[in-house]
Structure 1
Amino acid sequence: MKITRVSYERLDLALSVPYTIAYEKIDATTNFILKLETDGNLVGYGCSVPDAEVTHETPKEVKNALDTIIVPYLKNKDPFTFALILSELRTLLGKKSSCLAMVDLALYDLLSKKAQVPLYKFLGGYRSSIPTSITIGILNMEETVLQAYEYTAMGFSILKIKGGLNLEEDIAKMIRLHKDFPGVRFRFDGNQGYTVQESIAFVKATSAIGIEIFEQPTKHESDEHLGEVTGQVDIPVMADESLKTLTDAFRLAQNERVDMVNIKLQKVGGILTANHISSVAKAANLEAMVGCIDECGLGISAGMHFALSRPNIVYADLDGHLDLIDDPFKNIFRLEKGVLFPSATYGLGYSE
């Protein structure tokens, strides 16, 4: 099997509900869709989601990488040599992680289609469904509660609350949410907004709630601060922005800075590297979650398939597609009452 044609499409997608996190307000996202056609009539798809904060890429940089590196490089390549392809592209692309992820996903889509199985089975097929949290951005108290009512009415039983701008408001919100929704599981994302002291104060003030994950409360530049929080609180602390590479995973594990890691395919460069990070986490007895950014359904499907394949990935935060307007990939998997289910279609679940 050889790649005979390489093309791509840019999708500029507005969000039906813009949201705020500790360092920015978001109302739209750009996704690039890579299409790999082969001499065996199979077609593979992958996506790139450039994000200035998460992947350190702009849409202009991704387009330039596609035109000057990715498209000409991939022509006539054998998808079964994916490890070599991704290794060489990593060198050519530098730190453009979503560009590498786009190619990685398209190659895995092709290989699992060739094997005539959904991607999660090709990768290991450990489970066939996984519950996901749904995220509430930084809103005032009443808007937060209203959104929580809407999401729980849709069947979601896990809510991730964004914070990090105002400690007292964050504490008050969590206490109110726990009171109004006693059966809901809560996760809290500080989005690097807290100091070590504020992080500890937050956990103490919300101890009765049973928050199951405390995500990246301090700045990613300081592993030591994250480690200080981990050592002084009794709920799991998870690295997100602090984890971008396999080296990051090893360093965080070796120095016991966190209890959990958030693996985002766009951030780490795709499934091949994500598998390595998952193995490091497992060896260090760290729990793992698969997360996302503002990805269309194709990217969310990739995260879901990866999560379903790994025994040590028991958490998912794969809701980035839900507010996208005109997402062409919204129906390639099922979401029922907060639980994600893959389709029986081969690969990532999409074909034209």
Structure 2
Amino acid sequence: MIEKTLKIPLKMALNGIKIDYAQVYALKIPLTEPFNVANFNQVEYRAVVVELHSKDYVGYGEGATSPDVTGETILSEFENTKFILSALAGKNYESIEDLVTRMNGILYSNTTAKTAIDMAVHDIYCKDLGIHITKLVGGAIKPMLTSYTISIESLKDSLREVLEFQKLGVKLIKVKVGTDINSDIEKVKLISENLKGEKFFVDANQGYSISDAVKMGKVLEETNALFFEQPLGRENLTALKELRKKISVPIMLDESIGSPNSVINAILTEAADLINIKLVKAGGIRNAFKALSVAQAYGIDTMVGCMVESKLGVSAALAVASSLSNVKYSDLDGNITIKRQPFEKGFTFEKGANTAMAGYGMAVDKEMKNWK
């Protein structure tokens, strides 16, 4: 349902596109089942949606909130989005880079609010040009394998989800861990024993001590897991470097990563084998592309992930994921448990892969009936 909405006059221009006003929404929709990870439980989709209105087009953007990841609640994001848009109003911007640079200088951090605006800017820009977002970022419309996630739940429910994913044709499974190490080990072994050719990895969401991370790492070596995502706290780069010396399974960083500078810091600290980039942590499409490019320059492979977000946000992330050769994995299943989809189309899922649908911008349709 719509928690809040506000119309903001803009009277600004982007490379000749006259953007008259923005409509901003704070939106909540229940999930079909709880999303449980090591340090929080989520029962609803929470996002700020930005609409940029010109005479001919509407550009859509979404910033899905997760306070433990970006420090923003839906209400703080709404207010910060209003603040940024008001500061952007009344000016002419030569390019998306010009606008995003200005936006980044208006308010420190608050990357979820910036993502909603950045995404809407890209969407209306592509619609004006008559192109799909993948073309703007240099990507391609092609099937991209995605992981589907098993959150923290009972062994029975975990096994049930494995069987459901197998029926759907899922090829890559993410297993959430990070609570009790003994239960987690039992869960990982059970899942690995019931795979039928699928690959898997685990994500501890910062939940482990280094001793428990070593224990899990040894199990992951035995069960041929692809990698171990964010086993330790986001600030513990030195400990992550030491952990890499103790286990052979590759370490992927997620919560430790946001801006391009954070990618450089993690790599120079030798804390990561792989990097997970999410638009809401980077501050949108533009900055996510830069973060991925930095990783590529250092020879580091990446994954593009998402939060619990709609087909709008996932479509944007899918386009970015298709744009660089060092993106080896995608974790883009954030829309599947939203009870009523706020946006439809965008992409299809078949045989374990997401494929962008043809159209302009993100190629999504707003489903206003599902916002109530």
Does TM-score exceed 0.5, indicating one fold?
yes
CA distance in 2: counterparts of 1:230 and 1:138, whole angstroms: 25
Question: Residue 49 and residue 239 in structure 1: after superposition, are their counterparts in 2 closer, same or farther (change >3 A)?
Answer: same
In structure 2, the partner of 1:19 is: 35
Q: CA deviation at 1:208?
A: 2.6
Cα offsets for 1:137-184 (capped at 9, x unmatched): 111211111111111111112110000111111111111111111411
Kindly indicate whether the alpha-carbon contact (under 8 Å) linking 2:81 and 2:114 is maintained by their aligned counterparts in 1: no
Q: CA deviation at 1:282?
A: 0.8
In structure 2, the partner of 1:95 is: 109
Pick from 318, 331, 340: which aligns with 1:326?
Answer: 340
Matched letter for residue 64 of structure 2: V
- The yes-or-no answer on 1:33 pairing with 2:49 is yes
In structure 2, the partner of 1:252 is: 266
Matched letter for residue 261 of structure 2: T
In structure 1, the partner of 2:13 is: none
In structure 2, the partner of 1:283 is: 297
Kindly indicate whether the alpha-carbon contact (under 8 Å) linking 1:105 and 1:270 is maintained by their aligned counterparts in 2: yes
Pick from 317, 320, 326: which aligns with 2:331?
Answer: 317
Kindly tell me the number of residue pairs found equivalent between the two proteins.
350
Matched letter for residue 336 of structure 2: L
Structure with greater proportional strand content: 2
Matches within 5 A, 1:257-276: 257-276=271-290
Question: Residue 126 and residue 342 in structure 1: after superposition, are their counterparts in 2 closer, same or farther (change >3 A)?
Answer: closer
CA RMSD of aligned residues (A): 1.6
Pick from 76, 87, 95: which aligns with 1:61?
Answer: 76
Q: CA deviation at 1:135?
A: 0.5
Matched letter for residue 179 of structure 1: E
Cα offsets for 1:42-85 (capped at 9, x unmatched): 22111111221111111111221233331x23445456522222
Q: CA deviation at 1:9?
A: 2.2
Point out where structure 2 has 5 or more consecutive residues left out of the alignment.
1-16, 367-372
Point out where structure 1 has 5 or more consecutive residues left out of the alignment.
none
Give the TM-score normalised by the residue count of structure 1.
0.95
Cα offsets for 1:11-37 (capped at 9, x unmatched): 211110112111111111211111111
Kindly indicate whether the alpha-carbon contact (under 8 Å) linking 2:256 and 2:262 is maintained by their aligned counterparts in 1: yes
Q: CA deviation at 1:315?
A: 0.6
SS in structure 2 at match of 1:321: coil
CA distance in 2: counterparts of 1:79 and 1:291, whole angstroms: 30
Give the TM-score normalised by the residue count of structure 2.
0.90
CA distance in 1: counterparts of 2:200 and 2:266, whole angstroms: 24
Matched letter for residue 59 of structure 2: G
In structure 2, the partner of 1:219 is: 233
Q: Identity over the aligned pairs, expressed in percent?
A: 29
In structure 2, the partner of 1:48 is: 63
In structure 2, the partner of 1:9 is: 25
Cα offsets for 1:283-309 (capped at 9, x unmatched): 111111000111111111111111012
- The yes-or-no answer on 1:160 pairing with 2:174 is yes
CA distance in 2: counterparts of 1:169 and 1:156, whole angstroms: 24
Kindly indicate whether the alpha-carbon contact (under 8 Å) linking 2:61 and 2:118 is maintained by their aligned counterparts in 1: yes
Kindly indicate whether the alpha-carbon contact (under 8 Å) linking 1:30 and 1:59 is maintained by their aligned counterparts in 2: yes
CA distance in 2: counterparts of 1:75 and 1:129, whole angstroms: 38
SS in structure 2 at match of 1:54: helix
CA distance in 2: counterparts of 1:351 and 1:140, whole angstroms: 36
